[in-house]
Amino acid sequence: MFWVAATLLAAAAQTARNAMQSSLTTQLGTLGATQVRFLYGFPFALLFLAAVALVSASPIPRPDAPFLVFTTAGALAQIMATALMLAAMRVRSFSVATAFTKTEAVQAALFGLIVLGEQLTPLLASAIAIATCGVFLAAVRPGAVWHVASVRAALHGVAAGGLFAVAAVGFRGGILALDDGAPFYLRATTTLVWSLGIQAALLAAWLWIFRRAALLHSFVLWRSSIFAGFMGAFASQFWFLAFSLTAAANVRTLGLVEVLFAQVVSRRLFEQRLTARETVGMALLLAGVALLLLEL
Higher-confidence residue: 190 or 129?
A: 190
- CA nearest neighbour of 115 among 39, 68, 167, 75: 167
Task: Tell me 256's DSSP state.
Answer: G
Q: pLDDT digit string (tens) for 245-266?
A: 999 888 988 888 877 776 666 6
Question: So where are the chain's domains?
Answer: 2-295
Under the banding of pLDDT at 50, 70 and 90, the label for residue 172 is very high
State yes or no: pLDDT of 70 exceeds 60: yes
Q: Is the pLDDT of residue 147 over 60?
A: no
At 54, the amino acid letter reads L
Q: What percent of the chain has pLDDT over 70?
A: 86
For residues 272 and 117, the model is more confident at 117
- What number of other Cβ atoms are within 10 A of residue 158's Cβ? 18
pLDDT band at 271 (very low <50, low <70, confident <90, very high): low
Buried b (16+ CB within 10 A) or exposed e, 68-102: eebbbbbbbbbbbbbbbbbbbbebbbbbbbbbbbb
pLDDT at 57: 82
pLDDT over 70 at 53, yes or no = yes
In this prediction, residue 274 has a pLDDT band, given cuts at 50, 70 and 90, of: low
d(CA 284, CA 117): 28
**pLDDT of 52 above 90:** yes
Q: 43 versus 83: which is more confidently predicted? A: 43
Report the alpha-carbon distance of residue 112 to residue 281 in Å, rounded.
Answer: 26
Dump the DSSP string for 91-152: TS-HHHHHHHHTTHHHHHHHHIIIII-----HHHHHHHHHHHHHHHHHH--TT----HHHHH
Cα pseudo-dihedral 130, 131, 137, 139, rounded to 10: -160
**Size of the chain in residues:** 296
Q: Side chain identity at 282, as an amino acid letter?
A: M
Does 90 score more than 90 pLDDT?
no
- With a cut of 90, say whether residue 148 has pLDDT above it: no
- Type and span of the H or E element at 233: helix 222-243
Q: Average pLDDT, whole number, for the chain?
A: 83
pLDDT tens track for 173-227: 999 999 778 899 999 999 999 999 999 999 889 889 988 888 888 888 888 888 8
Note the pLDDT of residue 176. 94
pLDDT of residue 215: 84
Nearest Cα to Cα of residue 198 among 290, 43, 82, 75? 75
User: Is the confidence at residue 103, as pLDDT, over 90?
Assistant: no
- pTM for the model stands at 0.83
Residue 98 has pLDDT above 70, yes or no: no
- State mean pLDDT over 153-182: 88
Q: What is the mean pLDDT of residues 134-148?
A: 63
In whole angstroms, what is the distance from residue 164 CA to residue 102 CA? 9
Between 278 and 158, the higher pLDDT residue: 158
Determine what percent of the chain is predicted with pLDDT higher than 90: 32
Pick 134 or 54 by higher pLDDT: 54
